[in-house]
Chains A and B, each alone.
Chain A
Amino acid sequence: RKEVEQDPGPFNVPEGATVAFNCTYSNSASQSFFWYRQDCRKEPKLLMSVYSSGNEDGRFTAQLNRASQYISLLIRDSKLSDSATYLCVVSLNAGGTSYGKLTFGQGTILTVHP
Chain B
Amino acid sequence: DAGVIQSPRHEVTEMGQEVTLRCKPISGHDYLFWYRQTMMRGLELLIYFNNNVPIDDSGMPEDRFSAKMPNASFSTLKIQPSEPRDSAVYFCASSPGNSGANVLTFGAGSRLTVL
Q: Do A and B bind each other?
A: no
| A residues in contact (CB < 8 Å) with B | none
| B residues in contact (CB < 8 Å) with A | none
